[in-house]
Amino acid sequence: MNKEKTILEEQSEIEAALDHLPALAAQLPPALKPLARLSPRKGFRVQVSLRRGNAKDSRQVKQNAPASRWLPDSGLVAISYRPTTAEEDQAAGPAVEDVQDSPAKPAELATDPIRDIVMALARAEKDPQLGFVSLKWFRDAYLPQQGHPWAAIPDERQRVLVNAIERNWILTSKVANPKNPQFPVTAIKINRLLSEVRSILEQEPGSRSGFKPIAMRGEPLSQTVLRERR
């Protein structure tokens, strides 16, 4: 029994097809050649989102849902582009030259969104005025203010956040809504137990602790406390 493709797999196949269009442009019939304009330019990666609704009001179909949940006559396809990371460029190999390519983008645009979102959440968690970090506030209000090009695209913010949650780098929970207790809020926090996450956080300025334990003679303090309580 064949397993049906998921929405995520369907999106990935469309992205791969758009990536390969420049190399196949010469083989396309004239009626299909304009599709090559949808392929990502050098230094960028295409992102495809299969959505329900219309251009004014749409939402991403769950990525683990069967591909049959999305139909062209009842949905739309959102295509966006983001700068590639250095790791993605290396894995992709030499890029296909495009005479319409724009000038090279600054190197600082080539960032890792997953790394960016972890470090952004770490900064939000340090805010003493926040009792917790709301997922919706973090995604829609805080992230766009961090200056990352990918964070300016709503679909991309959602995709990166879902990716971090699926990796278990970011944990979710329900907390009481201070404004409306009947409707709990989804809160997020960093999973600092993972070595990959700790490695990312150590790269943030000021994140390394200056504390160094000092060896002291005598019995452990825990034993001293237990003895004094008897």
Number of domains the chain is built from: 2
Per residue in 160-209, pLDDT (tens digit) is: 899 899 889 999 998 888 777 778 889 999 999 988 898 888 865 544 44
CA distance 48 to 16: 10
Query: Considering the entire predicted model, what is its pTM?
Result: 0.44
CA distance 102 to 44: 11
User: Do 81 and 51 belong to one domain?
Assistant: yes
- Do the domain assignments include residue 206? no
Q: Domain residues for 159?
A: 111-201
Q: What is the CATH number of the domain that holds 162?
A: 1.10.10
User: Do 120 and 45 belong to one domain?
Assistant: no
- Do the domain assignments include residue 208? no
**Across the beta sheet with 170-175, what order do the strands follow?**
133-134, 185-190, 170-175
User: Do 35 and 120 belong to one domain?
Assistant: no
User: Do 80 and 139 belong to one domain?
Assistant: no
pLDDT for 60? 85
**64: amino acid identity, one letter:** N
User: Do 137 and 166 belong to one domain?
Assistant: yes
Domain boundary among the residues 106, 129, 151 is at 106
- Do the domain assignments include residue 226? no
Q: Scan for tokens 């989804």, then name that residue.
A: 186
pLDDT at residue 216 tops 70: no
Separation of CA 121 from chain center = 12
